[in-house]
Amino acid sequence: MRKLALSDEILLSVDKPARYIGGEINMVEKDLSKIDIRFCMCFPDVYEIGMSHLGIQILYDMFNLRDDIYCERVYSPWVDLDEIMRRENIPLFALESQDPVKDFDFLGITLQYEMCYTNILQILDLSGIPLKAVDRTLEDPFVIGGGPCAYNPEPIADFFDIFYIGEGETVYFDLMDEYKEWKASGEDRVEFLKRAAKIPGMYIPQFYEPSYNDDGTLADFKPIVEEAPERVIKQVELDMSETYYPEKPLVPYIKVTQDRVVLEIQRGCIRGCRFCQAGMLYRPIRPRSLEFLKKRAAAMLEATGQDEISLSSLSSSDFKELPELVYWLIDEYRDKGVNISLPSLRIDAFALDVMSKVQDIRKSSLTFAPEAGTQRMRNVINKGLTEENILTGAMDAFRGGWNRVKLYFMLGLPGETYDDIEGIAVLSDKIAREYYTIPKDQRNGKVNIVTSTSIFVPKPFTPFQWSPMNTKEQARDKRDFLLDKIKSQLNSKSIKYNCHDADVSELEGVFARGDRRICNVILQAYKSGCIYDAWSEYFKYENWLKAFEDNGLDMDFYIGRERPEDELFPWDFIDIGVTKQFMLREYKRSKEEVVTPNCRAKCAGCGAMKFKCGVCVEDAGQEA
């Protein structure tokens, strides 16, 4: 029986002790005497968020298929346990073995959201691992970062030994095999990093040096050892139906954010929304085969006992075999009490037919993401959705019995006017008006419209990476303006308005497009008590302002200016396939309000063709 790292007394004194004991259904246990490599996978947020992340489930399963590797997990301790561990000098531990994280060979941290950056330092600090990579010795694990935020690794570069640029199924085992050879060689820590630098997709920050112009912009960024490449190329899984995917996902003891089986039906997107980083990073779109998906769905539902399965994709409607998959799931599992969740689905006749079969209409709501309130702005962002599409979809849903609609928009989009913002209120009201054209005796009660806005944050590797971002003052002014406009609508009592915190978005914008000088700001903020910045009740804005001031950096430099076309970006050394020239062309098209067709309608020459897979080769008669 495993000995727990925390005493019963401590476990009984903290919120949700099941976060820390492991032992979940399908947890992997191995004999440590037969293991060559111990890998601890980390999600730097609370357990309920981390356990909902599909990427870790995939890598956990993949690593543990090898007899010589044992992959375990760790998440950020919640603030109550954090305080106890510091006071009692309890080292952070992995859930499976309950052993200290410091005893592992690798600590792999997934980087999903910029506002988790101080939690990375919390993980390292509680583990007893030096915060800066250059201070680590042979006694410390190698710290690896991966995930979407790794595509601009510079604001956290000092804290990582390695960044893995690309999809985890591709070259991780090459890195593990290199580690075993290095371990037997007796070489020092730097020599392993030089070995790692030769593996495609591996970025070793300490082997590169930035220099800056007098105006603070990046002048040069170059490798300083011969093993480090000039450009790091994103690694892409070419065949999504001949790769790793868990058949026995972990099942938590407590309710987590995504408490269901997740079936990733495809990776990537054809849509080309100019604000969407994921749509660019994960190009080209690569569907999984119908047979693969059926087998995995059956295996996961059997192994977990879950009563819901979610079909995961950036745009589910673009999966060509979606009707066949969904109707198969309905036929197989509807009578077994399994719900089918379909996020990222365009509302059309098929979607409504499916949802009427898999959802309780009286309890469920439909989600639309127009992103902008006017057609002009939807053209600017290349959303590819017309007002007619939205109103027709809503009306079809209302006739089908739904009366709850969620709408998602962004404030602060490039080129936005106050007329565009007012358009959000007007469109919300138009949808409500559609509902009331239905005869009263055929309605399902009152209509309920929830309109939510987030603050637009320009991200690297998008056409808007050159764009300025609204200040928090501008964002608050626009939010207040929109609220007034919603209140003035005919159906204002049917519309509820939710909005995002402008202070947090401001910082997210700095981290998203920051450079290596931001590392010391994050370090100071962490030492001043900043963790769980994504949680509004723990966000310490004043501490962040002081950290920027003390380090002589101005947030406005990073978010307040339109960047020149020829400016060197901190992430330009990373090659994601999609070219900077394409993104600049798309930025210019946005200013002209010109729409670019989706990848299946017409190739726009983005550069992803270099990977020779997915949608890029569909017309050549090859399988994606």
Per-residue pLDDT tens over the stretch 289-326: 999 999 999 999 999 999 999 999 999 989 999 999 99
Q: From the CB of residue 326, how many other CB atoms can be counted at a distance below 10 Å?
A: 24
Q: From the CB of residue 124, how many other CB atoms can be counted at a distance below 10 Å?
A: 28
Instruction: State the pairing for strand pair 339-341/208-212.
Output: unpaired
Under the phi-then-psi rule, with left for phi > 0, alpha for psi from -120 to 50, and beta for the rest, what region is 519? alpha
The secondary structure of 58-111 as a DSSP string is HHHHHHHTSTTEEEEEEEPPPHHHHHHHHHHTPPPB-TTT--BGGGSSEEEEE-
pLDDT at 559: 97
Per-residue pLDDT tens over the stretch 515-524: 999 999 999 9
User: In the structure, what pLDDT confidence band is assigned to residue 391 with cuts at 50, 70 and 90?
Assistant: very high
Residue 361 has pLDDT above 80, yes or no: no
Helix (H) or strand (E) holding 349: helix 349-358
Q: Encoding tokens for residue 406?
A: 């969620």
SS3 223: strand
Per-residue pLDDT tens over the stretch 213-234: 999 999 999 999 999 999 999 9
* Residue 398 Cα distances to 37, 316, 362, 368, 445, angstroms: 56, 22, 11, 14, 11
pLDDT at 350: 83
Domain 8-233 matches domain 340-610 at the CATH topology level: no
Q: Using the Cα atoms of residue 602, residue 349, residue 401 and residue 432 in order, give the sign of their dihedral.
A: positive
Phi, psi of 457 (to 5 degrees): -120, 115
Instruction: State the pairing for strand pair 208-212/218-223.
Output: antiparallel
Q: Which residue has the tokens 């798309």?
A: 586
- Domains of the chain by residue range: 8-233, 340-610
Helix (H) or strand (E) holding 474: helix 472-487
Which one, of 576, 613, 510, lies nearest residue 231 by Cα?
576
User: In the structure, what pLDDT confidence band is assigned to residue 620 with cuts at 50, 70 and 90?
Assistant: low
What is the C-alpha end-to-end distance of the chain, expressed in Å?
Answer: 46
Please calculate the CA angle 540-541-547 and round it to the nearest 5 degrees.
100
CATH classification for the domain delimited by 8-233, as one of 3.40.50.300, 2.60.120.10, 3.30.56.10, 3.40.50.280 = 3.40.50.280
* Residue 91 Cα distances to 333, 408, 442, 476, 617, angstroms: 45, 42, 62, 42, 50
Could you give the CA distance from residue 338 to residue 357 in angstroms, rounded to a whole number? Answer: 12
Q: Is the pTM of this model over 0.85?
A: yes
Domain 340-610 has CATH 3.20.20: yes
Q: What is the mean pLDDT of residues 80-87?
A: 98
